[in-house]
């Protein structure tokens, strides 16, 4: 079938521009007239794109045959068998290749002025140029046994992060991890900085003054820290000049002599490795989540139709190896990946290893030992729930390429949560679907990461539109039993990747009957209480109850929205109209529709008349190829996308109220007097799925990280009253509490 070589083959920096020469040499069969080869790249990659038209632009690629044969070629997406979805097709026309003839492909050909081709923006030990051959011209491709590979390494760190627990017990030791990400979100091992640490708030016992980063290490850790007294602290990291590099997430300690109070553990239970559709190996996947994203809880969720029996055993072996009670919880499981028409994606989490994988299909399993088994397979969601009945597991409804249709099938016992946010975007509609049907589900966020960065998953230069999410589990300790109890009781909240501290409770005037679910039941018993936390289900006789919300953000807080079911009943801000100034926010949100091609392009521009722009910044822009493209005193242009989430531009004007603003996008064109922009959103609907452009005003430099609020909520006479909140920070990050379900 031939062979292939690649030059150069040295390690390269993620996201850097490179030039590669790949030479395919025909083997003993040659390559027949109308035969072809494909150079395949994994689904998740953002390598390229390849182009053939502009020799001075990025991605310019040239292709030639040594014998002068006519070649046709195309850069294709999803025209090759997954996971090698992206591919360069090269066909031989009007001639053929004899044994020893070559095809030379220059990716990022710099001979006429191209800067090269952009390398994949995330790290991979073996980035493969997978060569497939159709030398007999049957369009039946055979992969070469050895294809060229290069290593992709991180670049220098430019964005610092300090990660600590959010809620702990007074006196309990904890760790502070500090890392620097490169421009594309990869933890860098090139740092040698000396870091200076200080504390704001409650004293942190054991905190050292300085830490020094070591080249070759991806993070530096301060161990044995503790908050001696109940309270809150934030650790500030500075460089030698005193410049603030980053602030940790908020850390709160509580007094708990019994060790039974619920504390916080952060998890990402949903992602894949390269044994299915992801990047790097399953072992490297778990190591990244534990050691570079600093997760407490992890799961692996490969597509079931690609998990062989051999890999299923390996996954179970790895989760058993990595699971360390008290330190790190690692959960076995898989993604049931059926088409939406028969239920759509579900995440299956088993409490123990050795369980059966009930596949939705065997679409990409060629191993004859993994033949279709009607006794174990589950081709529809209702059949899946039948197979899982009485098993020690929980199920979460997921929105990915295939989205879960929980109206098609749902199990009150097994399906404990819906996933509101991931790399794929934000999906509040799935929460609404559940509430409209009267289901009692919690809300989770995960990455569904495909790029080998679970727990710290950035979208890169691709169609993924947002940073991956996280779930904060409320549990008395860190082990599988406690985390599964947290899942079953919906004691968790979701975030878009930040680690804000969120406390939501309902206080009742008279005793409420709290339902306590046990394994394989909805509610086995009840206890009488007057305080309910997120995820609880309770009967009460009161016509109303007191909702208490406390937020300590990882950035200043913009607003807290309170929901009773699908109805927004109140919005609270830590500032008033009197605090507003010259800052205008233009936000864009929503998606095309629920499915794979949900990405909405918001490329546009704005112009200011009879005023001037002093400053402009983009928020929630995760792609360096997008963002603000041009800016002047009276105009800004940008490139942006949303996939159900929110992004936008902040403007600081020279005058707070003079003039008009004109905004042009493909979906909305508006002209608005600046004096009419206030604290409330001015909303312009834009079709699609919850798609809108909003304009409103913010304080010039908000600094309030804390919001405490209480209010009365009415309890419906019949049915559930699900009460939950959505928190939005100034930096665009959000969090959602799992609903508290009240019924009379």
DSSP output for 43-88: TT------BSS-TTSTTBEEEEETT--EEEEEEEES-SSTT--EEE
Q: What is the 3-state secondary structure of 459-475? A: CCCCCCCCCCCEEEEEE
Nearest-angstrom CA–CA distance, 639 and 645: 15
User: Looking at the chain, which residues constitute the CATH 3.20.20.140 domain(s)?
Assistant: 265-497
The percentage of the chain sitting over the pLDDT mark of 90, rounded to a whole number, equals 94
Q: Indicate whether 373 pLDDT > 80.
A: no
pLDDT band, very low/low/confident/very high, at 553 (cuts 50, 70, 90): very high
pLDDT of residue 367: 74
pLDDT digits (tens, 9 = 90+) for 198-248: 999 999 999 999 999 999 999 999 999 999 999 999 999 999 999 999 999
With beta carbons less than 8 A apart as the criterion, state whether 647 and 621 touch: yes
The pLDDT tens digits for 306-346 are 999 999 999 999 999 999 999 999 999 999 999 999 999 99
- Dump strand ranges (E) for 269-391: 297-299, 329-331, 333-336, 346-350
Read off the pLDDT of each residue in 153-182 and give the average, rounded to a whole number.
Answer: 97
CA distance 72 to 92: 7
CA distance 526 to 504: 21
| Residue 43 pLDDT exceeds 80 | yes
* Residue limits of CATH 2.60.40.10 in the chain: 159-260, 500-574+704-744
Give the angle 259-226-494 at the CA atoms, nearest 5°.
65
Query: Mean pLDDT for the chain?
Result: 96
- For the record, the structure tokens of 710 come out as 């209480």
Q: What is the DSSP string of 616-641?
A: EEEES---TTSEEEEE-SSEEEEE-E
pLDDT interval class at 36 (50, 70, 90): very high
The mean pLDDT of 89-107, rounded to a whole number, is: 96
Asked if 3 contacts 103 with a C-beta cutoff of 8 angstroms, the reply is no
Q: What are phi and psi of 515, to 5 degrees?
A: -85, 130
Q: In whole angstroms, what is the distance from residue 403 CA to residue 346 CA?
A: 9
In the chain, residues under CATH classification 2.60.40.740 are 3-153
- Strands 251-254 and 167-169: what pairing? parallel
CB 500 within 8 A of CB 425: no
CATH architecture of the domain with residue range 265-497 = Alpha-Beta Barrel (3.20)
The mean per-residue pLDDT over the stretch 47-62 comes to: 97
Please enumerate in sequence order all residues whose Cβ is within 8 A of that of 699, keeping only pairs 6 or more positions apart, or say none.
575, 579, 580, 581, 583
Helices then strands, counting H and E runs in the chain, come out as: 5, 57
For domain 159-260, the CATH class is mainly beta
Residue 303 to residue 307: CA distance in whole angstroms: 6
Extract the tokens encoding 738: 């799992």
The pLDDT assigned to 29 comes to 96
pLDDT tens column, 465-502:
799 999 999 999 999 999 999 999 999 999 999 999 99
Nearest residue to 447 (alpha-carbon basis) of 321, 289, 683: 289
Q: Give the integer Cα–Cα distance in Å for 468 and 454.
A: 8
Exposure string for 134-160, b = 16+ CB within 10 A, e = fewer: bbeeeeebeebeebbebebbbbebeeb
pLDDT computed for residue 371 by the predictor: 73
Query: Which of these, 396, 397, 445, lies nearest to 423 by C-alpha position?
Result: 445
Answer whether residue 520 shows pLDDT above 90. no
Least confident of 284-298, 316-330, 508-522: 508-522
| Res. 369: pLDDT tops 80 | no
pTM for the structure as a whole: 0.96
Say what percent of the chain tops pLDDT 70: 100
Provide the phi-psi class of 428: left if phi over 0, else alpha when psi is between -120 and 50, else beta: alpha
Q: Which CATH architecture has domain 3-153?
A: Sandwich (2.60)
- Cα 294–300–303 angle (5° rounding)? 145
For residue 523, is pLDDT > 90? no
Residues present in the chain in total: 744
Lowest model confidence (mean pLDDT) among 133-137, 254-258, 665-669, 673-677: 254-258
464 vs 484, residue with greater confidence: 484
Structurally, at CATH architecture level, domain 500-574+704-744 sits in Sandwich (2.60)
The whole-angstrom separation of Cα 284 and Cα 267 is 17
Q: Cα–Cα distance between 501 and 554 in angstroms, integer?
A: 8
Residue 375 has pLDDT above 90, yes or no: no
């Amino acid at each position: 079938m031939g062979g292939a070589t690649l030059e150069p083959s040295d390690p390269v920096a993620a996201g850097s521009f490179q030039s590669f020469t790949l030479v395919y040499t025909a083997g003993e069969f040659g390559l027949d007239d109308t035969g072809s080869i494909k150079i395949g790249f994994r689904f998740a990659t953002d390598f390229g794109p390849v182009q053939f038209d502009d020799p001075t632009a990025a991605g310019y690629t040239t292709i030639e045959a040594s014998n002068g044969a006519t070649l046709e070629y195309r850069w294709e997406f999803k025209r090759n068998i997954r996971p090698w979805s992206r591919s360069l097709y090269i066909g031989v026309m009007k001639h053929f290749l004899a044994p020893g003839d070559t095809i030379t492909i220059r990716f990022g050909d710099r001979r006429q002025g191209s800067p090269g081709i952009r390398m994949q923006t995330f790290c991979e030990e073996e980035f493969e140029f997978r060569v497939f051959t159709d030398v007999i011209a049957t369009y039946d491709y055979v992969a070469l046994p050895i294809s060229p590979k290069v290593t992709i390494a991180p670049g220098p760190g430019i964005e610092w992060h300090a990660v600590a627990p959010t809620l702990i017990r007074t006196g309990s030791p904890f760790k502070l991890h500090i890392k620097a990400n490169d421009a594309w979100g990869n933890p860098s091992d090139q740092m040698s900085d000396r870091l200076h640490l200080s504390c704001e708030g409650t004293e942190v016992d054991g905190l050292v003054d300085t830490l020094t980063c070591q080249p070759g290490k991806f993070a530096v850790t301060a161990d044995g820290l503790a908050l001696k007294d109940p309270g809150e602290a934030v650790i500030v990291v500075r460089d030698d000049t005193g410049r603030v590099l980053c602030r940790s997430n908020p850390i709160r300690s509580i007094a708990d002599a019994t060790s039974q109070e619920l504390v916080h553990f952060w998890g990402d239970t949903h992602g894949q490795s390269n044994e299915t559709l992801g990047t790097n190996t399953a072992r490297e996947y778990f190591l990244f989540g534990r050691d570079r994203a600093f997760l407490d809880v992890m799961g692996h969720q490969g597509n079931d139709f690609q998990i062989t029996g051999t890999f299923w055993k390996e996954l179970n072996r790895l989760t058993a190896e990595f699971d360390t009670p008290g330190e790190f919880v690692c959960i076995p499981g898989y993604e049931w990946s059926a088409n939406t028409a028969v239920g759509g994606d579900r995440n299956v989490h088993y409490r123990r290893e050795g369980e059966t994988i009930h596949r939705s299909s065997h679409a990409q399993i060629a191993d004859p030992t993994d033949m279709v088994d009607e006794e174990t397979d589950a081709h529809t969601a209702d059949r899946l729930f039948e197979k899982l009945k009485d098993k020690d597991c929980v199920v979460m409804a997921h929105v990915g390429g295939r989205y879960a249709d929980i109206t098609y099938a749902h199990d009150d016992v097994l399906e404990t949560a819906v996933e509101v946010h991931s790399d794929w975007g934000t999906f509040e509609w799935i929460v609404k679907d559940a509430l409209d049907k009267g289901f009692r589900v919690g809300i989770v966020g995960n990455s569904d990461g495909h790029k080998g960065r679970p727990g710290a998953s950035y979208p890169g230069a691709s169609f993924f539109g947002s940073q991956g999410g996280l779930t904060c589990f409320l549990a008395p300790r860190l082990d599988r039993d406690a985390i599964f109890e947290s899942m079953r009781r919906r004691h968790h909240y979701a975030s878009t990747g930040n680690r804000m501290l969120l406390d939501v409770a309902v206080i009742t005037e008279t005793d409420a009957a709290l339902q306590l679910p046990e394994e394989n039941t909805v509610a086995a018993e009840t206890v009488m209480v007057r305080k309910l936390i997120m995820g609880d289900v309770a009967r009460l006789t009161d016509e109303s109850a007191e909702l208490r919300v406390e937020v300590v953000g990882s950035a200043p807080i913009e607003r807290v929205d309170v929901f009773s079911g699908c109805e927004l009943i109140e919005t609270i801000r830590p500032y008033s109209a009197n605090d507003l100034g010259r800052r205008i926010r233009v936000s864009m949100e929503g998606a095309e529709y629920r499915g794979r091609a949900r990405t909405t392009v918001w490329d546009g521009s704005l112009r200011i008349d009879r005023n001037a722009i002093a400053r402009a910044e983009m928020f929630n822009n995760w792609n360096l190829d997008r963002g603000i493209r041009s800016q002047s005193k009276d105009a800004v242009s940008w490139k942006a996308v949303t996939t159900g989430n929110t992004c936008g531009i902040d403007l600081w004007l020279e005058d707070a109220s003079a003039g008009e603003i004109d905004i042009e996008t493909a979906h909305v064109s508006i002209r608005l007097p600046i004096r009419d922009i206030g604290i409330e959103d001015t909303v312009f609907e834009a079709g699609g799925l919850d798609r809108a452009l909003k304009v409103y005003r913010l304080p010039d430099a908000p600094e309030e990280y804390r919001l405490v609020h209480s209010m009365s909520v009415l309890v419906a006479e019949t049915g559930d009253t699900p009460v939950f909140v959505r928190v939005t920070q100034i930096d665009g990050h959000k969090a959602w509490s799992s609903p508290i379900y009240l019924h009379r």
